[in-house]
Structure 1
Amino acid sequence: MVRMSHLAHDAPSAELTDEALEALRALTGRADAVFHDGQLEAISALVEHRRRALVVQRTGWGKSAVYFLASLLLRRRGAGPTLLVSPLLALMRDQVEAAARAGVRAVSVNSANAHEWQQAQAALAADEVDVLLVSPERLNNPRFREEQLPSLVARMGLLVVDEAHCISDWGHDFRPDYRRLAALIRSLPEGVPVLATTATANSRVVSDVEEQLTSGSSAPVFTIRGSLARASLRLGVLRLPDARARLGWLLAHLRELPGSGIVYSLTVSGAEDTARLLSRAGHAVAAYTGRTDSEERAQLEQQLKRNELKALVATSALGMGFDKPDLGFVVHLGAPSSPVAYYQQIGRAGRGVDNADVLLLPGPEDRDIWQYFASASMPTEQRAEAVLAALDTERPLSTIALEGLVDIKRTTLELLLKVLDVDGAVRRVQSGWVSTGHPWTYDADRYERVARAREDEQQAMLDYERTGSCRMQLLQEQLDDPAAAPCGRCDVCAGAWYPGDVPEDASGDAARALDGVGVEIAPRAQWPSGMESLGVPVRGKLDPGERVLEGRVVARLTDLGWGGPLRTLFAPGAADGPVPAPLVDACVRTLKDWPWAERPTAVVAMPSRGRPQLVGSLAQAVSTIGRLPLLGTLDLDGAPTRRGDGSVNSAYRLSGVWEGFAVGPALAAALAGHRGPVLLVDDLVDSRWTLTVAGRALRRAGADAVLPFALASVG
């Protein structure tokens, strides 16, 4: 049942109905194709009545058919090209292919096809483009914003905002760049229709998007909402005791899942480790994360579509818009932080088949991961004021230059600049960022409301895991779907459809993989930009004679195996103490497997204010077991450093430790008569600047080479 609100126009005309149906059959390649409930009405609202419309429909309903066919019909009536704002490159690729099948000439402008921009610009100028696809970030590219967007707005036939929940603070995937769309909508000439589409919006998000769609218009929004139930999906939750059991289950049962699909992981390292384990066991899988470059992403997507892979082991980088109608399953190793985000990800499955399996394998570490990502994404008043104080209204600063003036990590700084930009406090120009001079006030109430909403979503996800009622119904209720009802298929409605056993051999294989140790730590080779402004007299490349060599840690804090014990060891408030015996054994294995060109001949310990027993006992254990002399410990010099504070950027990290270490007389004497590489032992590696500066001090004091070694790295 499709519900339509603010319907203020007649039914679609017979002429439009016939023309749209003919175009639909060309799009689908099927002579018997018919419209789903609401599709033709949405097309009519845009083409015949030039309305602003919002379509909230489940994945697979055919939202793209609405905007492609509306674009085609508007163009036939003399309208200008459609501007389609899409959030992901994967989505753009699929949409361009679909448009060609419908006879729609579509081109995209994005960071992955820079070599085609000039050609696309010429095609636009010649009126040979029906649909231009751009990312929301492109709208604030200075050249696009100033040279191309004004003329495009003047002749635009239709504006489409796909994945429109990103507009809203309350949407599960809020993006600051989407907020500038309200200003774009206000700038449109009278009578230009606007379409916003999403599959994941509750009532609060719908109201927020409707309000933004009415910018500059007194006409109400024409909203279509359909049932969000996915009859093809069979949902389940299998609670297993630990990562070993979860990976063991996947090793044993992946081949039994129907067709090909997606295995989601909450972290990049989790995805990479899982893909490596499954590949070694003979499964055709590949990792797909934010570290995967755009060309490889496209190749992996095509391999999955051709069923050459059983699964992509992915982070949320593979999300909205990936279109494989026969995707047979989605498995989550760890739960997303909200039922709405979970619904969006499982929506990849079962779009063109009658049956698809969806299984969640939650982990006890999920909440810690949710909290980390939530805290990293929220701007603070202090950081915003620091950025505004550093910028002036005339002299632009690049993001890199700004890093040298404000104590903010690069990714956080980029997000904050976007927020300040859409709030009108700063402006992006060709050579960087400038202040607009407009007054800006930190909206503390808004961020507190968003933070509370995120906490409620996390609790709702935990409720989904433990519910005794229909799982699909719970997801629908989280999206305020009035048609929510028991599905009759999930493990609550019909009983567990998945095997619950973890065979001993698979569990053993998983345990051995999780027990693997040794992660490379690449040496720093380049000083951060702008260090002179912080009183640190370095620039360019590090002197090769003062650099450390490639190092090792036992594991990353985000790893599935040793990550758990290490997170406990380094948890806030954890007491300092000697290194636990199991970690000593893991260190020995890490050192044994380290393929160094020359074995270390001595040990030097890092000084530690926070965990002196841990670092000291670790250095002594390595010295004793490896039969290497412990030459001593570096001295702490100057004020306490900022080690462990992930909120500061690279330049400030280096500044905080620049004069933090000294080679004392006893250590200097020991180094003077010693030959061979020195193993520099620490507890935790984050930015790598601590080891870089300490290693530089050792090299300048006469060490032949320095090999950094620590228990863990942050990422």
Structure 2
Amino acid sequence: MFPAGLADPAEPGPGGLRERAEELLRALAGPAAALREDQWQAIDALVTHRRRVLLVQRTGWGKSAVYFLATALLRGAAGRAAPTVIVSPLLALIRNQAAAAARLGIRAGEIHSGNVTEWDEVYAALRSGELDVLLVGPERLNNPTFRDDYLPELAATTGLLVIDEAHCISDWGHDFRPDYRRLRTLVAGLRPRVPVLATTATANTRVVEDVSEQLGTSAPAGPASAGTLVLRGSLDRESLRLAVVSLPQAEHRFGWLADHLGELPGSGIVYTLTKAAAEELTIFLRGQGHAVATYHGGIEAAERIVAEEDLLANRVKALIATSALGMGFDKPDLGFVVHIGAPSSPISYYQQIGRAGRALDTAEVVLLPAAEDRDIWRYFADTSFPPEHVVRRVLGVLAGADRPLSTQALLASVDLGPSRLDQMLKVLDTDGTVRRVRGGWVSTGEPWLYDEERYRRVAAARSREQQAMLDYIVTTGCRMEFLRRQLDDPHAAACGRCDRCTGRSWSSAVSESSRTRARDELRRAGVPVEPRRMWPTGMGRLGVDLAGRIPASAAAEPGRALARLSDVGWGNRLRPMFTSATLAVPGAAVPGAAVPGAAVPGAAVPGAAVPGALDGPLPGDLVEAVVATLAGWGWQRRPVAVVSIASRSRPRLIASLAERISTIGRLPLLGQLDRVAGGPHTGQVHNSAHRLAGLWDAFTVSPALAAALGELGGPVLLVDDRIVTGWTMTVAARLLRQAGAPSVLPFALAVDTA
């Protein structure tokens, strides 16, 4: 188990436990390594006193060394029994930690979503004593197979439980994950005097208190182990040089990065707020000769692993990434982190920039904020816990069911989006009100209290975090001190390194050639829109007799949109057209004017103008972009006519758009698909089943339109302003096909995807 020449800690050695810990550390980190005082306190508390410990220390401080050294000491002292279980949030972190454990001679196995076929083999090795550490992804804790077949025995045999990135336990944390809350079950099932270590670099006082309380669940009795030992150090990062460069438009930010990427030290990460922006920026930078790769949650796991390895080996200058590359990526010599667009929280920003400079004297951190950041925050803001009547509806459906119901089946019973419903069910599961089993979800029959006050406070806290991020951008004081105060760091002080402390920053100049090429890339028009292929599950419960595959004779063809609303280029131009209001959070503080004219998502601002949706003729630049999109479509058969969809919110916009397309393309405009008077409004419907049910009888084909369709010899171009779920186009295409249209080509200004 231990490297050659290293004493087994089970055998007594001079100087006792601390000397053995120091010896292990030198084997792990090099001959010059020495334990920090808080590292030693944590190890002593875990190994000697079997306590529960929360380490709040900056990234790169050495938190992982604590649990690897404690593992080695406990395994040696216990005759190599009772393995350590480490719960880690991301596969990247699990892979990094397994490699680190191997350097110390500790044998590690992994159980996560990427190696399901290997679970039995890994667990057999654990039972036979061949493994010292088991690394587990938190989503496994809510997997029925893992929870029922592995978790009880795991809790009964664990010698040390480690919870990495422990702020995820708390809904006050910047990256709350319901799966993490099931750790309370694991903690409660531990044998007496089993030590627990929780670690994080991003926890303010409220999160520390919340996590400490949860760690105390079923803690062993006795004065030596009473309560959670919190070891909190300075969150300063001595190597980081923070700066903000404010530039007017996306083309300037892309151009700036093209000009300066080669000047940034080593290799690094460039963060964007959306997947679309990451892909746009990657294409642009590659076109400028930079070696970069894309990394986000929509990319296959195998491709993400290759991208990580390329960055670790410095085969690329940068990964262009979303927050999917956040916690857990470990490259000690990462030379820079750049953000194209600001995260919605200074705490998550601190966490992301913490990837840089862990083993360097200097690393560059640059934020290029954008005016549209607040729109993007708003776009992704619908993550609050659902209203009580929605939750009660789900609980009632589950209570009345005679079998487990899948998340997909529940969508037909409640108007929530799939991801929000899944998050809600996980919270209810950890509260003991529902239970995930093979085949879906069941009710436990346990009573449940809707904690409206807590949910309101969490939403208000999110709003304050957004305002704090805006304040960070314009602060005249030290930037690192600002971030540390957001994390309630009692040691916060001016860093002497950032652009505010030194008066030196990056130039905001952008070469004309780079700006022009960025503008051309961002103004590239057109994105494909795939048609719906299957009807949603459970439509019968909503009174609509539909199931299975959509017949080819009723389906739309692949379509096009000018842009995604989350795009940095045309998305920025289109997004304000579809903004209808500023969201309100009851009781939220009115934000200050940190950025002139900026509305803060999630906060109601008395007297502020509420932007309305545009309804009028399409501006000339957008008409040109529409023409470019249609010209580059590459359809198999050119449309022979145009039909629009009647709109309640933007009737003049859609009518004028259809008319311009008809005129420019020299295509007959056959009219519009009319809405049934008094039909349902579907704008605030969140899931596919309910949206389709609301749309099913919402449109009608007039006799004149039906007659015109019956005489066509080619496809109809169907025009709308925005595609959200795709069901409006699906229903409209079906009606047009039934009325005689040979095929239907959907077209919209915007598609509402990330």
| Shorter-chain TM-score range | over 0.9
Hey, what does 1:150 align to over in structure 2? 152
Hey, what does 1:32 align to over in structure 2? 32
Deviations 1:372-393 (A, max 9, x none): 3333343322321121121127
TM norm structure 2? 0.91
Contact 1:488 1:494 in 2 (8 A): yes
Hey, what does 1:671 align to over in structure 2? 709
Query: Using a 3 Å threshold, how does the CA distance of structure 1 residues 377 and 13 change in structure 2: closer, same or farther?
Result: farther
1:678-689 equivalence runs, <5 A: 678-689=716-727
What is the CA distance between 1:215 and its match in structure 2? 1.6
Hey, what does 1:604 align to over in structure 2? 643
Contact 1:638 1:659 in 2 (8 A): no
What is the CA distance between 1:324 and its match in structure 2? 0.5
C-alpha distance in structure 1 between counterparts of 2:36 and 2:674, whole Å = 72
What is the CA distance between 1:442 and its match in structure 2? 1.1
Contact 1:644 1:686 in 2 (8 A): no
Find out whether 1:14 has 2:22 as its counterpart.
no
Contact 2:478 2:500 in 1 (8 A): yes
1:564-603 equivalence runs, <5 A: 564-572=572-580, 573-603=612-642
What is the CA distance between 1:527 and its match in structure 2? 1.4
Find out whether 1:518 has 2:532 as its counterpart.
no
Q: Which runs of 5+ in 2 are unaligned?
A: 1-12, 581-611
C-alpha distance in structure 2 between counterparts of 1:123 and 1:422, whole Å = 30
Deviations 1:569-596 (A, max 9, x none): 1221325222222211111111111111
Find out whether 1:555 has 2:563 as its counterpart.
yes
C-alpha distance in structure 1 between counterparts of 2:332 and 2:43, whole Å = 23
4+ runs deviating over 4 angstroms: none
What is the CA distance between 1:674 and its match in structure 2? 1.2
Contact 1:390 1:406 in 2 (8 A): no
Find out whether 1:324 has 2:331 as its counterpart.
yes
C-alpha distance in structure 2 between counterparts of 1:550 and 1:303, whole Å = 35
Contact 1:605 1:680 in 2 (8 A): yes
What is the CA distance between 1:427 and its match in structure 2? 0.8
SS of the residue aligned with 2:210? Answer: helix
Contact 2:246 2:508 in 1 (8 A): no
Hey, what does 1:310 align to over in structure 2? 317
Hey, what does 2:662 align to over in structure 1? 623
Hey, what does 1:8 align to over in structure 2? none
Hey, what does 1:413 align to over in structure 2? 421
Hey, what does 1:108 align to over in structure 2? 110
Hey, what does 1:268 align to over in structure 2? 275
Q: Which runs of 5+ in 1 are unaligned?
A: 1-11
SS of the residue aligned with 2:380? Answer: helix
Find out whether 1:62 has 2:25 as its counterpart.
no
Contact 2:163 2:197 in 1 (8 A): yes
What is the CA distance between 1:662 and its match in structure 2? 2.2
Q: Which amino acid aligns with 1:359?
A: V
Find out whether 1:701 has 2:709 as its counterpart.
no
Q: Which amino acid aligns with 1:93?
A: R
Hey, what does 2:178 align to over in structure 1? 176
What is the CA distance between 1:659 and its match in structure 2? 2.0
Find out whether 1:359 has 2:376 as its counterpart.
no
What is the CA distance between 1:501 and its match in structure 2? 0.5
SS of the residue aligned with 1:376? Answer: coil
Match of 2:502 among 494, 513, 526: 494
Query: Using a 3 Å threshold, how does the CA distance of structure 1 residues 638 and 80 change in structure 2: closer, same or farther?
Result: farther
Find out whether 1:443 has 2:456 as its counterpart.
no
C-alpha distance in structure 1 between counterparts of 2:120 and 2:326, whole Å = 29
Contact 1:265 1:332 in 2 (8 A): yes
Match of 1:632 among 671, 675, 681: 671
Match of 1:652 among 690, 714, 718: 690
Find out whether 1:211 has 2:218 as its counterpart.
no
1:218-229 equivalence runs, <5 A: 218=221, 219-229=226-236
What is the CA distance between 1:182 and its match in structure 2? 2.4
1:125-136 equivalence runs, <5 A: 125-136=127-138
Contact 2:111 2:134 in 1 (8 A): yes
C-alpha distance in structure 2 between counterparts of 1:609 and 1:373, whole Å = 25
What is the CA distance between 1:33 and its match in structure 2? 2.3
C-alpha distance in structure 2 between counterparts of 1:114 and 1:506, whole Å = 46
What is the CA distance between 1:397 and its match in structure 2? 0.6
Find out whether 1:528 has 2:528 as its counterpart.
no
Size of the aligned set, in residue pairs, is: 702
What is the CA distance between 1:713 and its match in structure 2? 0.9
Hey, what does 1:99 align to over in structure 2? 101
SS of the residue aligned with 2:364? Answer: strand
Hey, what does 1:5 align to over in structure 2? none
C-alpha distance in structure 2 between counterparts of 1:186 and 1:114, whole Å = 26
Contact 2:293 2:318 in 1 (8 A): yes
What is the CA distance between 1:368 and its match in structure 2? 2.2
Find out whether 1:284 has 2:295 as its counterpart.
no
SS of the residue aligned with 2:399? Answer: coil
Contact 1:642 1:653 in 2 (8 A): no
What is the CA distance between 1:304 and its match in structure 2? 0.6
What is the CA distance between 1:327 and its match in structure 2? 0.6
C-alpha distance in structure 2 between counterparts of 1:111 and 1:599, whole Å = 45
What is the CA distance between 1:21 and its match in structure 2? 2.1
Query: Using a 3 Å threshold, how does the CA distance of structure 1 residues 108 and 490 change in structure 2: closer, same or farther?
Result: same
SS of the residue aligned with 1:55? Answer: strand
C-alpha distance in structure 1 between counterparts of 2:249 and 2:570, whole Å = 12
Contact 1:410 1:649 in 2 (8 A): yes
C-alpha root-mean-square deviation of aligned residues, in Å? Answer: 1.5
SS of the residue aligned with 1:555? Answer: strand
C-alpha distance in structure 1 between counterparts of 2:751 and 2:465, whole Å = 30
Hey, what does 2:516 align to over in structure 1? 508
Deviations 1:289-331 (A, max 9, x none): 1101211111100001111111111110000010011111101
Q: Percent identity?
A: 58
What is the CA distance between 1:642 and its match in structure 2? 4.2
Hey, what does 1:187 align to over in structure 2? 189
Q: Which amino acid aligns with 1:47?
A: V
C-alpha distance in structure 1 between counterparts of 2:752 and 2:294, whole Å = 20
What is the CA distance between 1:26 and its match in structure 2? 2.2
Comparing 295-304 with 276-285, greater Cα deviation is found at 276-285
Contact 1:566 1:712 in 2 (8 A): yes
Contact 1:243 1:561 in 2 (8 A): yes
Query: Using a 3 Å threshold, how does the CA distance of structure 1 residues 328 and 492 change in structure 2: closer, same or farther?
Result: same
Hey, what does 1:485 align to over in structure 2? 493
C-alpha distance in structure 1 between counterparts of 2:127 and 2:36, whole Å = 36
1:397-476 equivalence runs, <5 A: 397-476=405-484
C-alpha distance in structure 1 between counterparts of 2:274 and 2:388, whole Å = 28
What is the CA distance between 1:639 and its match in structure 2? 4.5
What is the CA distance between 1:701 and its match in structure 2? 1.6
What is the CA distance between 1:241 and its match in structure 2? 1.1
Q: Which amino acid aligns with 2:504?
A: A
